[in-house]
Structure 1
Amino acid sequence: MRLNIGAGEVKLSGFVPVDRRVGKEAYPLEYDDDSVDEIRASHVLEHFASGMVGDVLANWVSKLKPGGVIRIAVPDFEVIAGMVANSPPSQRGLAYAYAFGGQTDANDFHHAAFDPASLKTLMRHCGLRKIKGWQSTLQDCAALPVSLNLEGVKPHKHKLPAIVAAMSTSRLGFTENMFSATGVFPHRNVELVKQTGAYWSQCLDRVLTQFLDAGHDGYIVVLDYDTVFNGDIFDELCYLMADNPQADAIAPWQVKRESDHALVWMTDDDGKKRDEITYEELDRELMPVDSAHFGLTLLRSRCFKSLRRPWFLEIPDPNGAWGDGRIDPDIYFWNNWRECGNSLFMANHVSIGHCQQLATWPDWNLKPIHQYLPDYQKSGPPRGARL
């Protein structure tokens, strides 16, 4: 079954029209869950209140069969804004109509606005994957230059393999993240094993070895003692791994402590470090990288069969010191991982929290100023603090 939601007067061969003109409401859809092969919704979502669009789209997605496709078209507010900004007031009527609807009757009002980023985010939150643009073959609103057209696929319900979790912890440290682990893993039958010690890489090596010696053949999730996450984040990583057999390891985005930089390393074709990432790369579901982190990273157990020992090694800089030019154990691991033929990807639409220590100071208006503790130790209280 294929549905044309908000069909209006457009007849689409092979599609069932869903429109008030034929006595059928676009929301909620009166069809069984997992019963529809394809949905086309051209310039109808914007007619719902902005606070409702999430529920509306979730309802539509629930009717799709796993593997089913939904194609959405809405006015692109970025394009409309450009039309308004680049035309004199006397010529803005068409742009206003695109934004607010023609308002010829009660059904011709727009109550929500979308741009590419907001529509993609909404679609992802409703569980859609493989989101990309599409072109209308009909002479309808979806063919207008102002139309934002995106399609997504409802993923299949994978039966995930056995998953275990490996964690290295310090003797004393953050405890908040343990509520992340204990709140997520037991409900998903994920065994969590930790090792405590002064050398995190040795601890992690022991846990990984324990799992592999026991014959584990599924996914291993490696997490840090300072990672904050929830079940939705973990589930998305697992489904990404199941959907992408070419990925041997997948890491979410994480920001380095006491920094504004992400924990990721990428090189160009000449082996030089890249300092920039394109929007096109970030828009992909997965992005290949050279190294990442162990905050909440999924690895395939089978890849350790070809991984050379040692898995972790700390190497000083060329002068024998531990300054720039050294190789830390995590960088060594990922270099070895790739050299042994394994792949590593960033999950571009998944991120995790990173615990760190901050001092909060009141300013002269008693508003908070947050400061990293190393910055305090280096230069004292922050500028603007009420002192």
Structure 2
Amino acid sequence: MKLHIGGKEIKEGWKILNIQKNEGVDFVGSITDLSQFEDESIDEIYASHVVEHVDQNNIKKTLSGINRVLKKNGKFYISVPDLDILCRIFIEKTAPLKVKFHVMRMMFGGQIDDFDYHYFGWNYEFLNSYLVETGFTKNERVKTFDIFNDTSSFAPYGPLISLNVIAYK
């Protein structure tokens, strides 16, 4: 099975886990609790702009839970707002206020509902460290995944605003 956490786009071969019951959602639940899935039962997990919604006290448990359900050599496609890139855009003296406000929302969440808050600012050093600590054996930074049409390839101000990593169990 391939699991798209937080997904909305229906794609053949992928099941969707979302915290909100929407059309196309196969499993309702949170990335922080994958207890509905057996150990080593999932080939690939995709989570674009989801992990930053996990509070700092639960991130190790969450990443360990993802590792638990992945099969041996399974892949975890993880995309998060890249704090290094967003900070560069935000402090650019010539950036208009409208751009800075948009970047601020990408840092802290759009806050359009109870689930749209960011609890963690990620850069590669932070993410790689947590992935290694929770048992992932190889972490590869990539430009894009080209699997779903989502924020992982969003570049409204030139550079991609996402940090995209494939973590291997």
TM-score, normalised with respect to structure 1: 0.38
1:286-365 → structure 2 map (5 Å cutoff): none
Match of 1:139 among 125, 131, 149: 149
Contact 1:4 1:12 (8 Å CA) reproduced:
no
Match of 2:81 in 1: 75
Once the two structures are superposed, what CA deviation does each residue of 1:53-93 show, in whole Å capped at 9, x if it has no partner? Answer: 11111111110111111110000000111011102545311
CA distance in 1, matches of 2:53, 2:80: 10
Q: What is the CA deviation profile of residues 95-144 of structure 1, one whole-angstrom value per residue up to 9, with x for unaligned ones?
A: 10110111111111111111011101111111112211232323201111
Distance 1:89 1:17 in 2: 36
Structure 1 counterpart of 2:77, which letter?
R
Larger Rg: 1
CA distance in 1 between partners of 2:106 and 2:15 (Å): 26
Amino acid at match of 2:63: L
For residues 168 and 56 of structure 2, the distance between their equivalents in structure 1, rounded to whole angstroms, comes to 23
Gaps of at least 5 residues in structure 2 are 22-27, 155-159
Alignment of 1:226-241 (within 5 A): none
Match of 1:322 in 2: none
What's 2:2 paired with? Answer: 2
What amino acid sits opposite 1:27 in the alignment? T
Look up the equivalent residue of 2:164 and give its one-letter code: N
Secondary structure of the residue aligned to 1:21 is coil
Contact 1:142–1:149 (CA under 8 A) maintained in structure 2:
yes
Cα 1:85/1:123, change in 2 over 3 Å: same
Matches of 1:13 and 1:146, distance apart in 2: 27
CA–CA distance in structure 2, aligned partners of residues 27 and 76 of structure 1: 21
Letter in 2 for 1:136: F
C-alpha spacing 1:42/1:90, structure 2 compared with 1 (3 Å): closer
TM-superposition CA deviations, 1:42-62 (whole Å, max 9, x none): 110000112211111111111
Amino acid at match of 1:24: G
User: 1:100 is aligned with what amino acid?
Assistant: F
TM-score (norm 2): 0.85
2:56 to 29, 50, 54: 50
Q: For the Cα contact (< 8 Å) 2:32–2:61, is it kept in 1?
A: no
Match of 1:92, SS state, is helix
Q: Do the aligned partners of 2:78 and 2:164 also contact (CA within 8 Å) in 1?
A: yes
| Residues in 2 aligned to 1:133 and 1:10: alpha-carbon distance in whole angstroms | 23
Instruction: Quote the residue 2:117 is aligned against.
Output: 109
Structure 1 pair 90/39, CA: closer, same or farther in 2 (3 Å)?
A: closer
Residue 28 (structure 1) aligns with = 33
Q: Percent identical across equivalent pairs?
A: 27
Q: By how many angstroms is 1:24 displaced?
A: 2.6
C-alpha distance in 2, partners of 1:143/1:59?
Answer: 26
- 1:155-170 to structure 2, matched below 5 A, reads none
**RMSD (Å) for aligned C-alpha atoms:** 1.3
| Alignment match of 2:166 (pick from 142, 151, 156) | 151
Q: Distance in 1 between matches of 2:151 and 2:140?
A: 18
Aligned counterparts of 1:4 and 1:74: Cα–Cα separation in 2? 14
- State the one-letter code of the partner of 2:151: C
- Which structure exhibits the higher relative contact order, with contacts defined as CA atoms closer than 8 Å and separated by 6 or more residues? 2
CA deviations 1:279-301 (Å, max 9, x no partner) are xxxxxxxxxxxxxxxxxxxxxxx
What residue number does 1:14 align with? 13
What does residue range 101-250 of structure 1 map to in structure 2 within 5 Å?
Answer: 101-134=109-142, 135-137=144-146, 138-144=148-154, 145-154=160-169
How far 1:26 sits from its partner (Å)?
2.1
Equivalent position amino acid for 1:146 in 2: I
Give 5+ residue unaligned stretches, structure 1: 155-387
Per-residue CA deviation, residues 176-221 of structure 1 (Å, 9 max, x unaligned), is xxxxxxxxxxxxxxxxxxxxxxxxxxxxxxxxxxxxxxxxxxxxxx
Q: Distance in 1 between matches of 2:39 and 2:30?
A: 16
